[in-house]
Amino acid sequence: MYDIIIVGAGPAGLTAALYARRANKTVLVIEKSTFGGQVTFSPKIENYPGFISMSGNEFADILVEQVINQGAEIEMEKVVSVEDNGQTKTIVTDSGKYEAKAVIIANGVKHRQIGLENENSLTGNGISYCAVCDGAFFKGKDVAVVGGGNSALQEAILLSDLCTGVYIIQNLDYLTGEEKLIEKINGLNNVKVITGTVVEKLYGSDELTGIGLKREKDGSLSDLDVSGLFIAIGLVPDNDAFSQVAGLNDYGYFDSGEDCRTKTPGIFTAGDCRQKKTRQITTAVSDGAVAALAACEYIDNM
């Protein structure tokens, strides 16, 4: 029996663990894939207070070490459901069950897919969602990046140092990232921006060999020979497994507010998985602190 079990080891979940341990609560953090969450995919962070510049992996490593040093336990398992038993909660994973007095769901979000045929089968075989993770596999080759926001532009900048050519495919007629990043992109000779265009086809059976493009304005088609396709078109929630204990809004995000409380006493949410206007590392960390303190108060008043 733990005081608090936290689902997810991103900035929100790890901050919650830190605050809960500082309040002398027993804590278990359960993570299904990557300690640090989506932040580990970011090649450079320059907007986190107190740090001029760092990579997402550096930030995650520091936070994980800090939480472990505080005495929190961490397990690598996938949580499939959370059951409300009144004063206790059962967390069901793909490996077993755990009990806790309170639960904080901080499971983050997942990458949005294009939705094309054989996209899943080509993921890991030419299609990637992380230039930091997979960029080196395409050194000296041509690649494309789908998206026009900050994440896509950061991916393209990183890939420009490794690849012969980088194509940015944006469905809008303009890039939506920060002006500083756009200026950087415009100064790179091996990066070409293709706007008003979508990826319509994926070529290749075992490995990606190219992509089919469609101009939004006139419907004209063209092909692009690339060895890699990096998809950076946003993130979507993955909260269905918890909908019985934590209500969802129309977009699939937890409908908990700034107090991070759900419809079920003793169950809280934190980070990008809940409804909010701004999703940044700083707001995730803030949620983690709020949710942990609320969970501690709940336990103390049981």
Mean pLDDT of 242-249: 95
Q: How many CB atoms lie within 10 A of CB 174?
A: 11
Q: Tell me which of 131 and 185 has the higher pLDDT.
A: 185
Mean pLDDT of 272-279: 92
- The reply to whether 2-111+235-300 and 119-231 are identical in fold is yes
Three-state DSSP state, 116: coil
What are the structural domain ranges in the chain?
2-111+235-300, 119-231
Considering 3, 84, 130, 287, which one is annotated as catalytic?
130
Mean pLDDT of 9-24: 98
Q: What is the predicted pLDDT for the residue at 38?
A: 82
Q: Determine if the pTM surpasses 0.85.
A: no
Please state which CATH class domain 119-231 belongs to: alpha beta
Residue 273 falls in the annotated catalytic set? no
Indicate the helix (H) or strand (E) that contains 166: strand 165-169
Residue 3 falls in the annotated catalytic set? no
Per CATH, the number for 2-111+235-300 is 3.50.50.60
Q: What is the predicted pLDDT for the residue at 43?
A: 75
Residue 232 pLDDT exceeds 90: yes
Three-state DSSP state, 210: strand
Residue 133 falls in the annotated catalytic set? yes
Considering 61, 134, 238, 255, which one is annotated as catalytic?
134
Q: Are strands 109-111 and 235-237 parallel, antiparallel or unpaired?
A: antiparallel
